[in-house]
Amino acid sequence: MEPTSALTARYRILAVGRAGAAAVQPLLSAGFIDVEFAVLDTDPEALAQSPITHRVHFGEAATFGLGTGSDPARGRAAAESDLERLRPLFAGARLIFIVAGLGGGTGSGATPVLARLAREAGALTLGVATLPFDCEGRQRAQHAREALTAFRSSADAVICVPKQRVLAQFKEQERPALTEVLAAANDLSGQSIRGLIQLLTRPGLMPLDFAHLERLLRGRHAESCFATVETTGPQRTRDAVEQLLRHPFLDRGQALSEADAVLLSLAAGPEVSFTEIDHVFTHLQNVCERATVITGTSIDSALAGRLVVTVIASRNPTNAPSAIPLSSEAHSTAPQAPPLPGSRPDSNAALGPDLMSAPTLPGVPGTAPLGGHTRDDSSSVPVFAGSGSLASPSLATVANPTVGALTKKKIKPTQSLLNFDTLPNRGRFEGLPATVYQGEDLDIPTYARRGIALN
């Protein structure tokens, strides 16, 4: 399915897969200026059902036109096999939103490739990703984790909308309808895009231009969280601040206090006063003192009597908690890592599946496991057994020559954490053409480029 015409607008919204198409559908009637939509999918039947007129069917050689079967590897292969068909989507654009649901095949596999193509074309690339419900299973959650890492490494920033947290809006309802919950998740995805587009295209008391947004997000590879509230009445400014500080998408205010970059957007009717704007922005900036903050306002006559405040907060990937934590059950059933070369099987068992001892050197006292814990010298030196052969005591026993017997000594192992979630920027290569070989950017480390989780 070929598009009928080329995209020419500066701002473009690309919906990937069924979930992406559903998320952008509420935006089609928003009346944006200088914004174009396109939908991309490996399934031609899903494309035919989309109301978006600019449709691109890709990956037919890799999927035989049958979709990806919820396999991210097939989704990535589909995008890599049709790079020349996909490149025209990004030509001449300044800002590109890539909207998708993660956890399946097309969205999880294709979005990192699309984000890479967008950045190669010079566009500021923002991802908007919905994450699966807990009830969708561990495998889908794991696919979403890996896809989010790869997506974040390719895009300038990714705004996450965890569907599980959407349920917090329906806590007072005993049995919320599935269609109602899904519609709320799609609406939240659209609100983040709508808020940014309105700031860039509508007049305001304190306008925000593209340069501000680019300075805040370009090359950060950050995982961002998003929240928006709408209030009315004489206390609407105070209510807006309180609702944002209790918002589940902002970790009840913790995301703001830990953020290193924050965008604050306020939209209201023509009657809004500067005092109201100052009240909202001052209170929120006091919470995120460590962050670089940019603010903007827009005036919309359709919002008469209402105040809409939107927050996008980006945390450093090394400090940001994972949007999809593995459950304890999934963690306990995860395969154990093999022992390090030279380590003893009994010591690995004593430390447990998550803590591994470092290689020990026979005859060298004080060899320490990872985490800095030092064993007693006698525990690392072979001792003679009664028959005259060498025997190596375990970590839990230490020979006591004064007593003449083995006494047990409990050792509490410690483990330091090596964080591999930090996604490197391109450093001195930033702004230069990427070193691309067979569709992969070799300037990005392999684990980040391919979304490999390093535990």
The kind and range of the H/E element at 215 are helix 210-217
In the predicted structure, residue 318 carries a pLDDT above the cut 60: no
State pLDDT tens for residues 272-310: 998 999 999 999 999 988 888 888 888 888 889 999 998
Min mean pLDDT across 173-182, 187-196, 296-305, 411-420 is at 411-420
Report the distance separating Cα 411 and Cα 373, nearest Å.
Answer: 9
118 Cβ contact partners less than 8 Å away, ≥ 6 residues apart: 90, 93, 96, 98, 125, 155
How far apart (Å, rounded) are the C-alpha atoms in residues 247 and 449?
Answer: 33
Beta-sheet pairing, 35-41 with 124-131: unpaired
Contact 344, 357 (CB under 8 A): yes
For the question of whether the overall pTM of this predicted structure is more than 0.95, the answer is no
Is the pLDDT at 47 greater than 50? The verdict is yes
Q: Does 263 have pLDDT greater than 90?
A: no
What domains can be seen in the chain, in order of their start residue? 1-201 (3.40.50.1440), 224-326 (3.40.50.1440)
Give the tokens for residue 309: 């405040």
Neighbours of 185 (CB within 10 A): 24
Rounded distance, CA 381 to CA 391, Å?
9
Residue 119's pLDDT band, with cuts at 50, 70 and 90, is: very high
DSSP for 178-192 reads HHHHHHHHHHHHHHH
Please, what sign has the CA dihedral across residues 17, 22, 27, 28? positive
Q: How far is CA 398 from CA 5, 49, 342, 389, 410, in A?
A: 77, 71, 21, 18, 10
